Structure 1
Amino acid sequence: MTPAAARTLAHPARDEIRLEGVLHALSDPIRLRIVREMARADAALSCSHFVLPVTKSTTTHHFRVLRESGVIQQDYRGTAKMSGLRRADLDALFPGLLDGLLAAAAAQESRVAS
């Protein structure tokens, strides 16, 4: 295996992304937190950017679930693994879903904080 091939991550093509996979990925509070932060940034972020209350191996698992479900795109830039929301793909496949989920999560956060 070439070094470049070892650093390539598998992602589903747009037509392989399934609603049940996206909903499963976003049903976890940690993964939803990651996606909300990516949506606010509106840019790819390095995995080390995220400060999560879980171990590094659990964080890796959460990013893998998000990537394999088609919610995020990951690639290496130098030694950094960059992650970005696949908003265009999700919006094309499931219009309004991502915005609705993000709005609902924000409303829940406000309600719980009160």
Structure 2
Amino acid sequence: MHSENQSKGVHYAKSQRLLEINHAHLQLMESLLDEGKKHNIFKPDIDPLQVNINIAALGGYYLINQHTLGLVYHISMISPQALEARRKVIKETILSWLLVDPSSTAHE
């Protein structure tokens, strides 16, 4: 994706399949958020596009930089334990942003 951004997305723009996949993901997120908003679980002002971008950013940065982060912190960033810890952080981060009352809901 980094090199694609450097070329201003010219190759991605030619891929109908990538556009369809991303549109489907956005529709799914919108549907999930709408359902949560209807039941007063999710805040009313949440933008599904921003949710998708944030999830991608939280996971993508970690994976793209796994080698340098692993060297800096002296750990395997892709061990099962590290990946599970990262998954939990992403989940807690996103849910604390989305939930009307993060303290009242069991997240597991």
TM-score of the superposition, structure 1-length normalised?
Answer: 0.26
Say which structure is richer in strand. Answer: 1
Q: Which has the larger radius of gyration?
A: 2
- Higher relative contact order (Cα pairs below 8 Å, separated by 6+ residues): 1
TM-score of the superposition, structure 2-length normalised?
Answer: 0.27
Say which structure is richer in helix. Answer: 2
